[in-house]
Structure formats: structure tokens, C-alpha cells
Amino acid sequence: MKKLLYVTDQGEYVDHGFILPLFEKYLKNYFEIDIVYFTEYKSDFERKDEHRFVVPSRYKKSLFNELKSNDIDIDQYSFVIVRNDMAILKHVLEQKVYHNYKLGFRLSFPKRRAKLKLDIARNKATFLDKLAAKFKNSSEVKVINQCDFFIPTSLGMHQEFFPDINITTFYCPAGIDPEKLHENIQHQSDETRFFYAGTLDQLRQFEVVLEGFSKVQNDLWSLTISTQDPLYANELVNTFPSLKDKVEIHNAANKDELLEFIANADVGVALVPDIPVYNTSIPVKTLDYYSSAVPTLMTNSAHANKTFEDNTDAWFCKFDTNDIAKKVESIIALSKKGKATVGQNGQNKLLELKNYKTIAENLAKELESL
């Protein structure tokens, strides 16, 4: 069985919702896989087990030297994939001439490029910002085009943010694990329980969502928010006095606690601005919602409506306060059974289209074809 080295840009204690099911589970049916994580908190290399290595962050630009000094033979790998980090990619690319692996770059989220596009749209980007970005982007493209393959999350992400990459490309979306579905817990209360999971920042404009909820006329609802920045969430909620008794804010300690919150909800909220960083792939929060068959209210974007159908397996609305309020009211009016049916339909759709077992099979076929 061929061996693959996956070099992440993540720490050992992060909830690896993509890495664990794909690389530590299903892709192991096709390759023997070793995974590198990085840490800011340890000074020495550590083997978590036979196939997982933790490397101090200071060795990112000399990773292979550190691996070799700990008796890891780089020549054993047929494939090396680097996730997101350009500094690591440059190092692994330089080392490629001494070995015989195929090198790939995995892009999960082009945050810097996306922010610049938004700043330009809002007239907040200076000439120097644009010029610096142009040179940086050009440099990155040159490096990536020296690899053997490129793995962005979606075709839309490739076209929008990296159109000049011309090497072999295949797409690897986030998905749901068919062996890790969670029971949807139906509560007895008449209220419709909405739930939002994830980051809150200026880019996501969550105040638009809150204002939409503040305009809802029907009183039979509640909104729970789980975010790593509860102080910022409280600041936003406090700007809408009518939401004081309708919104709860939490910070889930881990993925299991988050999934428990989700399982107790009736409707997931995945409303984000209709901009490229969000509308070129399905948000991870949406996949988490549907792992518990929780139906989702999402922004009507080109990528979302290629996967879901409004009022059948999801709900769509514009990222607009009035449209959000109108759609929330229509969802509240549905029966419990009606909401649950939408959630089950959505889960079935994702098991068909974005199933980690199938994603692993497709990725293995692509790698073997190189």
C-alpha cells in the first residue's frame, strides 16, 4: 500500500472535523497515511502514535530535517500534501528534488484573498494594499504551479481566487461522516429553536441576522448562539433590546458539546453575506447541522442552491433583514413534522453528494491517476 504524508497547518488539540474522517478514517482504506500537526507549546518532536506526529512550530521551514532526525524516512512517501501554509509548501517543494513524491497543495479557506476582495468592494482597500496583494498572489501562484496537483474545496473557489493555477486540480469539499450521524432530539415546547454555530466578526455581518430576528412578529422562537467570542456576541445582541430574552450565548467547549447543542435545535442558521469567501463552498456549520438532520436556513447563493432546494431540504433567503424576518416567520409556522422532514431530506441529500466515504474514494482515484 502506498504511503501519503499529510502536513497540516493545525495544532494537535484542534477539533479536526475534516482531517479526522477523511485522512484518519476513510482514506486509510487506500493509502497508509501519516499526519503532521504543529504546536506552539512543546519544544520537542512527539509521536502521538504510529502515524501522527507533533512538530514544534519553529521547524515549519525545516520540517523534513526534523522528521529525518526522528527516524522518519521521507523516501517512503508516494504523496505529500501540504494544507494552506505557503512557508511549509515552499520548504517541501525545495526538498522534492531529493525525493520521489508527488506534491499537492490543499486550500481550505482563502481568507486573505477574500478579505481583500471585500475591502475593494467597500472601497476600503488602498492602492498599496492592492499592489502588495498582487505581488503576493502572483508569488503564491508560481509556487503552487510547481506542485503536481492542487486540491481546493470547490470549483467556485478555484475560479474565484486561484484562476491562474494550471496544474492538475481536483476538488475535495468538506462533508458528513455516514458513521457519525447524531439523533435529532425533538423537544416538547411549542417554540421553534434556532441555533447558530461559528465565528462572529465584521466580515460575517451577524448584526444583519440579529436585526432580521428582531423584526419577527411571531413570539414562539428562541435563538442560541455558540461562538468562541461570546463577549463580542453579547455586544451585538445588546444593540437589539427586543432580543434580550430571546437569545442565549454559549461557547461550546468541544465538538461533542457543540453537536449536543445542535441536536437539541429545530433549525440551524447559516446566514452569511453573499460574497465569494462564503458562497463558493458549503459552510462547515451547515454540515454539522445536517449530521443531526437539523434543517438549515441559509443565504440564497449560487453554490448553496446547486446542492439544496428551497422548502424541500433547506430554506433560502436573501442576506437582508426583511427577507430574513419573513423567512423565519414562515419556518415558525411549519409543524414540527414539517421542519423535521426538511432536515431529514437535507441529510439524505448530503449523504448522497458530500459523504466522506465517497469523497475519500474519489480522492484516492485522483491520486492514483497522477
Residues 296-331 have pLDDT tens digits of: 999 998 888 889 999 999 999 999 999 999 999 999
Instruction: Transcribe 276-319 into DSSP letters.
Output: HHHHTS--HHHHHHHHTT--EEEE--TTHHHH--BTTTBEEE-S
Task: Determine the pLDDT at residue 196.
Answer: 96
Instruction: Name the pLDDT band for 132 (thresholds 50, 70, 90).
Output: low
Task: Determine the pLDDT at residue 135.
Answer: 73
Task: Determine the pLDDT at residue 72.
Answer: 96
Instruction: Name the pLDDT band for 161 (thresholds 50, 70, 90).
Output: confident
- Spatial distance between the Cα atoms of 291 and 118, rounded to a whole number of angstroms: 31
- Spatial distance between the Cα atoms of 188 and 205, rounded to a whole number of angstroms: 33
Instruction: Name the pLDDT band for 253 (thresholds 50, 70, 90).
Output: confident
Alpha-carbon torsion 351, 354, 360, 361, what sign? positive
Residues 53-82 have pLDDT tens digits of: 999 999 999 999 999 999 999 999 999 999
pTM of the predicted structure, to 2 decimals: 0.86
